[in-house]
Amino acid sequence: MVDLLGRGGMLQEAIKLIGGMPMKPDVVVWGALLSACRAYGNVDIANIILKQVLELETDSSSGLYVLLSNIYFEAERWKKAKNVRKLMSGHGFIKCNAVSFVEIDECIL
């Protein structure tokens, strides 16, 4: 539901939904909202999510750090982006390069 609200640009409604959840939001929930923040260029909500991600401190939150860093870079907030990258290295996270393969008639391109 957070993802649907976020894709529709209803970021405030998504935050209200998260606040009313009976359980603590996990990396997946914050990631859905963070993706919407990037799509709509909402750095203010991304700042809120950063605080939540720092509290999670799980191995699976490395992608959120990369996403946060990208949001700050796109908003030309260089110092914030650099600080997020420092946090990543402090937690031992490594940004891996993406790799894609295409297979056509059993031939990998």
Residue 94 pLDDT exceeds 70: no
Q: How far apart are CA 93 and CA 73, in angstroms?
A: 18
Q: Across all residues in the chain, what is the average pLDDT?
A: 85
In this predicted model, which residue has the larger pLDDT, 22 or 54?
Answer: 22
**pLDDT the model gives residue 98:** 64
Percent of the chain with pLDDT over 90: 45
Select from 27, 2, 32 the least CA-distant residue to 15.
2
> Which of 29-38, 47-56, 72-81, 93-102 has the lowest average pLDDT?
93-102
pTM for this model (two decimals): 0.72
User: For residues 69 and 83, is the Cβ–Cβ distance under 8 A?
Assistant: no
Taking residue 8's Cβ as centre, other Cβ atoms within 10 Å add up to 11
